[in-house]
Amino acid sequence: MTEVLIWSFLLRLTQSLIAASPFILAGLIVAGIFRRLMGRESTRRLFGNSSGRSLLQAWGLGMLLPICSLGVIPVIRELRGMGLRGGTILAFAMAAPLFNPLSVLYGLTLSEPIAILAFAFCSLIVVTGVGMVWDRLFPDSSQSEPEPPTVRAGLKRIAAIGVAAARHAGGRSALYILIGLVGVAMLGVVLPAGSLQHAVNGDNPLAPLTMTAIAVPVYATPMLAMSQLGMMFQHANSPGAAFVLLALGAGMNLGLVFWMWRQYGLRRSAAWMGLLLGVVLLLAYGVDRPLYPHAIDPADHTHAFDIYCRPFYSDAVNPGALAIEKLRRDTSPVELYPLAMLGLLLAAGLLLNLFDRTGRVERWLEATPQTEAPRRLDVVVPGPILGGVALIGLVVASIVGCYAYYPPPAEVLEEMNIVKAEALGAALADDPEQATYWIEIYDDWSRKLEVGAFLRDWKLSDYHRIKARILREQLELLEHEIEHQDREEIQQLVARVSRSQGRLRTAFIEER
């Protein structure tokens, strides 16, 4: 049993780190841009200074930037040193992980569009309402640190951004990020395998409360949170619990809570958490019945939250080998690139923080040669303008990335044919582990098919949605029959899935 718990912890920690690495990298870059390009005054203006619109601007900026609740930690540490009010900082910290262009498009195909729009509006109420009340209760929450000297234009200014990002990656920001990762890993130890499959059923009035109890230590990327929302609506689970998962599971983690306690003290942090939980629960119960998908037959369980539970049952044999095999199988080579880049930045930050505690590197970057004459064709672009362009570039890159992440329908359908062969072949060969693995990938490709078609035509008819939904429903039935080992039903469902795939291809290629 002890071996199972140890490997469960390590597996969940590693899975979360791999999923978070691109968003953490983005957060480190944004923190460096704010510090070395934007500067204090331009950043404060971007966030509305101390005006009445600062909370709204913090929510809007958070909705655009592609960072998660772990990646936001180095950013808010920079904002704290620039003297922004605590309510504005915490509002940005809550809003940034909830939505980005990639996840919104994904969510619009997974759930009813009205639900995603309602959740976005509710998130605005949460971050602005709680931030406004908290600022009134604690108006003296801001503090300032000395602003670093400017770095002259050129390669040194670019290097200064990298140094600032590395300092965060190998410093206290890394500690807070680790605490957030440990929180979700501990859930994988405490919660038995499959223990959340019935916790958020639509007929359970305690579903939002149950989700609240586990959502703060949960870490979910914006994409994962959206996929789980889609599964909850597909199974007719509680919409209120879905909103709690988005607001707290994607928007918070234990690292953020620990940072808040260290910066604002126990009393102020408790006030923020009390206000936040109260407003989130109030809105959750407010949207629970209106957004409930009455047209869908409710399922008696869901696998959407198995990722937060123990990955192995207590009687698992050789959990170490199972964990390594699961990591190898579930991790694509593309996911290793941001992880490797994050590792390099972490190593650089550790070296800087260990061997250059006095900031000699920064002083060298800030030093301006007195004898060097400007070149005739040089154009010096002010740092705040470059910073704004860089931030806009991150947003544009995330939008452009949508077209890479969601290929054209023809390419998706080719991939689906390969995955179909693997999934159905494993089901017929009585290999439940492989079949379940490929069915999940098959389901995900069917959703990418819808988003890819929408991105290129800017419309998606109900006819195409229904065809994709039928395929997913049959895949879910197949997964259930594989669990019950009903050979006759498995064979019939394999044939149905194959026919549905053919009809889906005809719909998206010939009948668009």
d(CA 292, CA 113): 13
Q: pLDDT value at position 200? A: 77
Please tell me the predicted confidence (pLDDT) of residue 58: 86
User: What span, in angstroms and rounded, lies between the C-alpha atoms of 23 and 29?
Assistant: 10
- pLDDT value at position 343? 94
Whether the Cβ atoms of residue 168 and residue 288 lie closer than 8 Å to each other = no
Closest by CA to 87, choosing from 140, 34, 123, is 140
> What's the pLDDT at 260?
92
DSSP 479-503: HHHHHHT-HHHHHHHHHHHHHHHHH
Decide which of 94 and 105 is more confident: 94
Mean pLDDT, to the nearest integer, of 285-306?
Answer: 72
Determine what percent of the chain is predicted with pLDDT higher than 70.
90
pLDDT computed for residue 76 by the predictor: 93
**For helices 113-137 and 86-95, angle between their N-to-C axes, nearest 10 degrees:** 160
Top-confidence residue, 283 or 372: 283
C-alpha separations of 363 from 153, 357, 469 in Å: 15, 12, 59
- DSSP alpha helix (H) spans, 235-300: 239-244, 254-288
- Tokens linked to 71: 């990646």
d(Cα 493, Cα 495) in Å, to the nearest integer? 5
Q: Which of 160-174, 265-279, 288-302, 344-358 has the lowest mean pLDDT?
A: 288-302
Q: Residue 17: is its pLDDT beyond 70?
A: yes
| Percentage of the chain lying above the pLDDT 90 cut | 20
Output the pLDDT for position 296: 65
Weakest mean pLDDT among 80-84, 111-115, 251-255, 438-442? 111-115
Sorted by sequence, the CB contacts under 8 Å of residue 330 that are 6+ apart come out as 15, 437
Which tokens is 376 given? Answer: 């005739």
pLDDT of residue 457: 81
Buried residues in 393-432 as b, exposed as e (16+ CB within 10 A): ebbeebbeebeebbbebeebbeebeebbebbbebbeeeee
Instruction: Please give the pLDDT value at position 299.
Output: 64
Backbone angles phi, psi at 477, to 5 degrees: -60, -40
- Predicted pLDDT of residue 177: 95
Q: What tens digit of pLDDT does each residue of 395-411 get?
A: 777 777 777 777 888 89
Lowest mean pLDDT, pick from 13-22, 113-122, 163-172, 174-183: 113-122
Structural domains in the chain plus CATH codes: 2-367+380-402 (no CATH), 407-509 (1.20.120)
Asked if the model's pLDDT at residue 429 lies above 80, the reply is yes
Residue 107 in this model has a pLDDT that exceeds 80: no
The pTM assigned to this predicted structure is 0.85
Q: 324-381 pLDDT, tens per residue?
A: 888 888 888 888 899 999 999 999 999 999 999 888 998 898 886 645 555 565 666 7
Task: Report the C-alpha gap between 153 and 41 in whole angstroms.
Answer: 18
DSSP letters, 309-375, are S-SS-TT-S-HHHHHHHHHHHH--HHHHHHHHHHHHHHHHHHHHHHH-TT-HHHHHHH---SSPPPP
Residue 292 has pLDDT above 80, yes or no: no
What local confidence, expressed as pLDDT, does residue 14 receive? 92
Mean of per-residue pLDDT scores for the chain: 83
Residue 13 banded pLDDT, cuts 50, 70, 90: very high
The H or E element containing residue 70 is none
User: Hey, which bits of 131-271 come out as E strands?
Assistant: none
Q: What is the pLDDT of residues 213-238, one digit of tens each?
A: 888 888 887 777 777 776 676 666 78
Task: Give rounded-to-5 percent helix, strand, coil for the chain.
Answer: 75, 0, 25
Answer yes or no: are the C-beta atoms of 204 and 238 closer than 8 Å. Answer: yes
What is the C-alpha separation between 24 and 38, in angstroms, rounded? Answer: 20
Q: What are the residues facing 269 on neighbouring strands?
A: none
Helices (H), 191-253: 207-215, 222-234, 239-244
Burial call 119-135: b when 16+ CB within 10 Å, e when fewer: bbebbbebbbbbbbebb
**CA geometry: angle at 100 spanning 95 and 102, to 5°?**
160
Burial track 10-38 (b if 16+ CB lie within 10 A, e otherwise): bbbbbbbbbbbbbbbbbbbbbbbbbbbbb
What's the pLDDT score for residue 256? 92
Instruction: Provide the token pair at 371.
Output: 């004898």
Q: What is the mean pLDDT of residues 492-503?
A: 90
Cα 453 to Cα 295: distance, rounded to the nearest angstrom: 25
Residue 412 pLDDT greater than 60, yes or no: yes
**pLDDT tens digits, 194-217:** 777 777 777 788 888 888 888 888
